[in-house]
A = this chain, B = another copy of it.
Amino acid sequence: MSKNKETVLKIQKAAMKEFLEKGFMKASLRKICHDAGVTTGALYFFFKDKDDLFCSLVREPVEKIYKIMTEHYALETDISEEDVLAVLKNPEGSLEDQKAMLSITKIMYENRDKIMLLFGKAQGSSMENIVDKFVEISAKQYEKMVEKMKLALPDIKISKHYARWVAKQQIEAVIYSMINIKDEKETELFGLNVAASLRGGWMATWKLQ
């Protein structure tokens, strides 16, 4: 039990390195096995195939993020129109929303390498569209919000693709920060800039403020 755990970890460590370096498709299982000091048979005892190995590396944060998103958005489902306006006029934004985004951001930063694998090196694996899936979930909420905003502000014409784009922006901002900024102070400052920017963008779209 301790020994196979060890083997799995050795494989995963080597796999992480190789996948990060070459991306899913160009990564070589042979090299992973060699670097891990393990034979192919051992790898295939623990993992169904290449894709399964890749997924094992990112499964944990994916599931956590997924959980937070679904739970969070389940809460937000029943906001009334007045709430929507109130929430958006409040410079602090929705508390729940902030909490969710913070949780996700925290998870991402706790799993920095895994997330970079997930969002930058997954092409060819079954995870290659995972961002889209997250965006999808988030987008559904924004679509609901947009619908309600439209009721309150019927003169504003909004494309039906706008909500999804907003959702995508939000998620990609976190990823961008994670990939490009190492310094913590800088990360925080960047986060504030982005938050202000995104919020300002939303407000401007509705001609608020």
Contacts and interface: CB of A to CB of B under 8 A. Distances in A.
Nearest to A181: B161
A159 B190 contact: yes
Q: How many copies of this chain sit in the oligomeric assembly?
A: 4
A198 B202 CA distance: 9
A176 B181 CA distance: 24
Contacts of A39: none
Contacts of A159: 181, 186, 189-190, 193
B173 A165 contact: yes
A26 interface: yes
Contact of A164 (B172, B180, B192): B180
A184 to B, nearest CB: 12
Contacts of A198: 201
Nearest to A166: B197
Bin the interface of chain A by size. Answer: 35 or more
Contact of A205 (B160, B186, B193): B193
A190 B204 contact: no
Contact of A190 (B26, B165, B176): B165
Given A25-B124, A124-B26, A201-B204, A168 B176 contact: yes
Interface in A87-141: 123-124
Contact of A161 (B164, B166, B190, B197): B190
Interface in A175-209: 176-177, 180-181, 186, 189-190, 192-194, 196-205, 209
A122 B123 CA distance: 11
A158 interface: yes
Interface of A: 23, 25-26, 123-124, 157-162, 164-166, 168-169, 172-173, 176-177, 180-181, 186, 189-190, 192-194, 196-205, 209
7 contacts: A23-B123, A161-B181, A162-B194, A166-B197, A196-B201, A196-B204, A199-B204
